[in-house]
Each structure stands twice: as C-alpha cells, then as structure tokens.
C-alpha cells in the first residue's frame, strides 16, 4: 500500500542524499598548466580556462518553504480546534458515564424506570405506533425532502 510506496521513496531519497553528500562542495580545480604544456593549439586551453572559471551554477531559490510553513500553521490551528472539541466531547462522555454508573442494571429495571431513564427509546402509550415502529412506517409520515418543498 501507501506505506510500502513511501518506504521505497524514502530509500531512494536517502540513497540520493548519501550520493550527494559524498561530492565536494566546491567544483574541483583543474590543472590548466599541465594541459597547456601538452596541447599545441594556441589559446585553446586559455579559452577553456576562462569559460571554466566563469561558470556559475545557480542554487535554486527556495519557493516552497513559505507555503509549507503556512500549511503547517493552518494544520496546527485545525489540530488545536480539534483538541478543544475533543476535550468537550470527553467531558460530555464522562458525564454520560457517571449517569450510566449511577443507573441500576438494565436487567433489574422495571418498565417505569426504563421510561424514566430512556424517554426517547421507551414506548409512548399516548402515541401508539405500528410495527416496525420506525417513523417512516407510521401513518401520516412525510419525508423531510417533501416537507421542505
């Protein structure tokens, strides 16, 4: 999957980095005097020497670090919001857990206690329903899409 592809990419990237780090930082010096002694064409080695010394390889400008930093700040803000929302959910769930711990076991409940603890799940004798007791199977049910039009 993606992890295998990432590990393959990371391996290639690390191998490339190791190869680059073995190279010298500066361009190696060429002994032009030795070439001048061996080459008979006048001015040829001098011309090559001028071209070699004038050679400037520009280092590419960093155009992505700013964008990455901006995305990182945005992700940090989103993470902070998520953590705050999660902490609020944790507080609510802990309150719910306390309620469940105080409640008598379900097996020992009477129907009246069930209605008291779970009014939304209990049978309402004032409004009887038909089997299978789902809202869409009841007489007079209007779907939300139709009700909004």
Question: Does pTM top 0.75 for this prediction?
Answer: no
pLDDT digits 0-9 by tens, 63-91:
999 999 999 999 999 999 999 999 999 99
Tokens of 103: 């409640």
For residue 124, name the pLDDT band (cuts at 50, 70, 90): confident
Average pLDDT of 98-114? 92
pLDDT digits 0-9 by tens, 4-56:
999 999 999 999 999 999 998 887 888 999 988 898 888 999 999 999 888 88
3-state secondary structure of 71: helix
- Going 95 to 116 to 136 to 146, the CA torsion angle's sign is negative
Cβ neighbours of residue 137 closer than 8 Å, sequence gap 6 or more: 130, 131
**Predicted confidence (pLDDT) at residue 92 exceeds the cutoff of 80:** yes
For residue 125, name the pLDDT band (cuts at 50, 70, 90): confident
Q: Whole-angstrom distance between the N-terminal and C-terminal Cα of the chain?
A: 46
3-state secondary structure of 81: helix
Do the beta carbons of residue 101 and residue 107 sit within 8 Å?
Answer: no
Average pLDDT of 128-142? 89
């Amino acid at each position: 999957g993606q992890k295998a592809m990432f590990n393959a990419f990371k391996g290639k990237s690390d191998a490339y980095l190791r190869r680059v780090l073995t190279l010298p930082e500066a361009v190696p010096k060429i002994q032009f005097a030795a070439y001048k002694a061996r080459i008979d064409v006048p001015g040829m080695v001098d011309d090559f020497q001028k071209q070699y010394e004038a050679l400037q390889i520009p280092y590419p400008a960093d155009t992505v670090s700013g964008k990455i930093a901006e995305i990182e700040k945005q992700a940090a803000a989103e993470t902070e919001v998520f953590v705050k929302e999660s902490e609020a959910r944790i507080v609510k769930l802990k309150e719910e857990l306390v309620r469940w711990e105080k409640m008598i076991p379900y097996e020992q409940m009477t129907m009246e206690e069930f209605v008291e603890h779970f009014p939304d799940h209990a049978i309402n004798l004032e409004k009887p329903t038909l089997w299978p007791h789902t809202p869409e199977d009841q007489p007079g049910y209007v779907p939300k899409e139709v009700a909004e039009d």
